[in-house]
Structure 1
Amino acid sequence: MRRELITFELSGQLFGIDIMAIREIRAWSPVTVLPRVPDHVAGVVNLRGAVLPVIDLSVRLGWPATEATPRNPIIVVEHEGQSRGLIVHGVNDIVSIEADSLQQPDGAAQARITGFLEGLAPLDDNMVMVLDLAELMADEELELAA
């Protein structure tokens, strides 16, 4: 079975999210910073009258914070009825992969983020890190921002 992914860049790495979880890709808009939320929550934005928590995906994965500019898109994802915005460095393309081509990473270098990955998919000469939205969005403190 084939899966379609939206691919995007973050800290020079290629990531993918299942296209069925994507609600929209927005241009950058400044966030309202909230007190007492986890470091990876950049803040919230107004999405057609609804409060949308925005996650700095780089921080969520354990990397340095994104210095957000108007060139940083926000990918709006939905999982189990909850929407989140993800700050990324750039959106690339829609790709199709074989579902059984996902491989599990090994090695200590990937250990910090492997909990957020469904697996790695070969794509041309690159590897796409396919994000597991259930794990990525599992955060009790984030509910307070919604």
Structure 2
Amino acid sequence: MAGVMDAVNRRTQLVGQNRLELLLFRLNGQQLYGINVFKVREVLQCPKLTLLPKANPVVRGIANIRGATIPILDLALATGGCSLENSSNAFVIITEYNTKVQGFLVHSVERIVNMNWESIHPPPKGTGRDHYLTAVTRVDERLVEIIDVEKILSEVAPMSESISAGVITEEVQRKAVSLRVLTVDDSAVARKQVTRCLETVGVEVIALNDGKQALDYLNNMVAEGQDPCQQFLMLISDIEMPEMDGYTLTAEIRNNPRLKDLHIVLHTSLSGVFNQAMVKKVGADDFLAKFRPDDLASRVVDRIKARG
């Protein structure tokens, strides 16, 4: 337990400093890719895989790792490349996204680098709509691509976006029509999921791509004489975003007298004890793991009821 808490304390030092740690790896070829260390449980040589009949081709098989059965996804194939041929010489990155554990098959793993989110940028506009990137950066003058894992998981194992009966009442929907929610997420898939869920509740949704864009938007409202705390029922923000992460966005809002009362929910595929400590440190009102439509809708419904 002491080791876990030491890790929590070490990593929470990054909170509010707009920093992250990236695990660098390769698929086919020399291109470098990165994944946030917070999402990584462990890295190991690819274990023996058991094939699953009729599984998505991206799922190379399942592996028994520390008593748990974990699906192993071929990350090269999932992003439109060629499948990794020899899995026995490959590595598996065990990750946790959206409260689910899966392994990503990669050719090799390099090292961990500590970076500033300001050095992480959205993909170039010329990349089109069909790419699998949420961001790019440079390490030692080499381009590093950060993969949109949420997009991959939504294609391999789509999640239900339906909201259960009884979560939203007619009275809530009547009140919701006049209310707006600001959402921030760098993943196009996540933005669409959140937007559809909130529109089902009945609120108007303003969806932005990253923390810096959101902070500029709010500051511009203040400069124009508007009160964001009255204009928006709440802010629902991802944590991992280029330019400015959700932790730093929250800290900046709390430090601004004109914005500090904005209700903030951090909505992220990151999970576990680390986030509980971080959410408390930056002053967010709530933390919600992606993507649970009932839970997300319930948070919005509770805010509508609290406003009367």
TM-score range (shorter-chain normalised) is: 0.7 to 0.9
Which residue does the alignment assign to 1:28? 46
Q: Return the alpha-carbon distance in structure 1 between the equivalents of residues 83 and 63 of structure 2.
A: 18
Which residue does the alignment assign to 1:56? 74
Which residue does the alignment assign to 1:4? 21
Larger Rg: 2
The root-mean-square deviation of aligned C-alpha atoms, in Å, is 1.9
Check if 1:94 corresponds to 2:112: yes
Q: Secondary structure at the match of 1:107?
A: helix
Cα contact 1:97–1:121 (8 A) shared by 2: no
Q: Return the alpha-carbon distance in structure 2 between the equivalents of residues 132 and 97 of structure 1.
A: 18
Q: What stretches of structure 1 of length at least 5 have no aligned partner?
A: none
Instruction: Tell me the CA shift for residue 136 of structure 1.
Output: 2.7
Amino acid in structure 1 at the alignment position of 2:23: I
Q: Return the alpha-carbon distance in structure 1 between the equivalents of residues 117 and 41 of structure 2.
A: 21
Cα contact 1:3–1:99 (8 A) shared by 2: yes
Q: Scaled by the length of structure 2, what TM-score is found?
A: 0.43
**Where do residues 1-146 of structure 1 align in structure 2 (5 Å cutoff)?**
1-12=18-29, 13-103=31-121, 104-108=123-127, 112=130, 114=131, 116-139=132-155, 141=157
Instruction: Tell me the CA shift for residue 19 of structure 1.
Output: 0.3
Percent identity of paired positions between Structure 1 and Structure 2: 29
Cα contact 1:117–1:130 (8 A) shared by 2: yes
Instruction: Tell me the CA shift for residue 140 of structure 1.
Output: 5.8
Cα contact 1:38–1:142 (8 A) shared by 2: no
Q: What stretches of structure 2 of length at least 5 have no aligned partner?
A: 1-17, 160-308
Q: Return the alpha-carbon distance in structure 1 between the equivalents of residues 157 and 110 of structure 2.
A: 31
Q: Secondary structure at the match of 1:70?
A: helix
Instruction: Tell me the CA shift for residue 87 of structure 1.
Output: 0.6
Distance 1:36 1:142, change over 3 A: farther
Aligned residues: 140
Which residue does the alignment assign to 2:242? none
RCO greater where, 1 or 2, for CA within 8 Å and sep 6 or more? 1
